Amino acid sequence: MAVSKPKCAKERIILALDVDTIEEAEKLVVELKDYVGFFKIGLQLQSFGFEASEMIKSYGSKVFYDMKFHDIPNTVARASANLVKRGIDFFDLHIKGGSKMMSATVKLANETAKRYGMPMPTILGVTLLSSFGQRTLTQELNVNMSIDEYVSRLARTAYDSGLTGVVASASEAPIIREECGEDFIIVCPAVRPTWSVVNDQVRVVTPSNAVKSGVDYMVVGRPVTNSENRVEALQLITQEIEDAMTIEAGIL
């Protein structure tokens, strides 16, 4: 399984293309491709999924295919094989689908990559959605664990099943690092700069705190796409990441 670690602040940023049409998505890609490492295709753009991924690739950018697969092992594995053939860089599935589902996906993805001479994508396991808090976990899902304990257990299951990393909040990143090691990739959703609003997320974090927590990649959406000056918004986020990286490196 290939491990893809970011080398600079720009590479850490994944911009969510949460729009309704391929035309809107392409406009964002053209405008912002020089300021981010990845573009994320999610459920809102799913009807244009492969068309959108090919469009993003045509501009020399990387793709995170965020469909959060969760089904029986054979179904998820075969769906994932199709992503390998399309040259998708990152994709994800729900860890709660179980170890058999994850292991089968990793196995067939590897076989497909070798058969078609394609690079092996980074496969991420979704831990707990960023809109969930402790009350939802305990009262609605009937899970009698703290969020940290629950996410740590899920991350370990993903690691043991051969996944490359997880999607998790920055607040859980330190315990995931302790459990799964430095090479394990952590992608943080719900990143909100200090100047933006939280919206419908619960477990949110700033870019600076994400870096300090040990996150590798961070997903940002509305704070950029809803901004009057999207380039300036990304430049501010990049600067915040660079400042945090400098501090973490002990330069300041």
CB-facing half-sphere around the CA of 87: CA atoms within 13 A: 12
- Catalytic residue selected from 10, 57, 68, 212: 68
Number of residues written out for the chain = 252
C-beta neighbour count of 152 within 10 angstroms: 21
Q: Which two tokens stand for residue 163?
A: 């996944």
Q: What is the DSSP letter of 205?
A: B
Q: Which two tokens stand for residue 226?
A: 């809803």
> End-to-end distance of the chain based on CA atoms, in angstroms?
35
SS3 of residue 252 by DSSP: coil
SS3 of residue 208 by DSSP: helix
CB-facing half-sphere around the CA of 141: CA atoms within 13 A: 16
Helix, strand, coil proportions of the chain in percent (round to 5)? Answer: 50, 15, 35
Our answer to whether residue 68 is catalytic in this structure is yes
Which position has the token pair 């959703």? 189
Is the CB of residue 25 less than 8 Å from the CB of residue 16? Answer: no
Which residues are known to be catalytic?
Answer: 68
